[in-house]
Amino acid sequence: MKKAVEGKGLAPAIGPYSAGITYGDMIFTSGQIAMDPHTGELALGNSIEEETERVLNNLQAVLLAAGADLSCVVKTSIFLSSMDLFPNVNEVYGRYFHEPYPARETVAVKTLPKNVNVEISCIAMRKR
């Protein structure tokens, strides 16, 4: 049975969706952007690196609320406002994930919610 992931410290949804859904031991997160989970405001920082860190911290919060963490991630999807940002995002991503790395795709899109530069979602398995 599917269940919404809920908990303190999660960035607020900006539409009719859950931060994450669990189905058995699987966790599916919604795309996370650089929202401050305490204020609900964008927290882009001063660089793409800071924005990416906020996104990955938000992703980690969803996973923790679901009984997992970044080490449980099997697949990520990264959406960028420009492929020019790829090297910087990739460098930060590499500090959060370790071998064996999750499967991943990275795509550039025309526009992201609230005109952010990066959005990341994932699929993970709960810790046993």
Residue 69: band (very low, low, confident or very high) from pLDDT cuts 50, 70, 90? very high
Q: In CATH, what number is assigned to the domain containing residue 60?
A: 3.30.1330.40
- pTM, two decimals, is 0.95
Q: How confident is the model at residue 8 (pLDDT cuts 50, 70, 90)?
A: confident
- Count of domains forming the chain: 1
What is the predicted pLDDT for the residue at 112? 96
pLDDT at 34: 97
Buried b (16+ CB within 10 A) or exposed e, 3-42: eebeeeebbeeeeeebbbbbeeeebbbbbbbbbebeeeeb
**pLDDT reading at 128 higher than 80:** no
User: 119 lies in which domain range?
Assistant: 2-125
pLDDT at 62: 97
What's the average model confidence in pLDDT over 97-101? 97
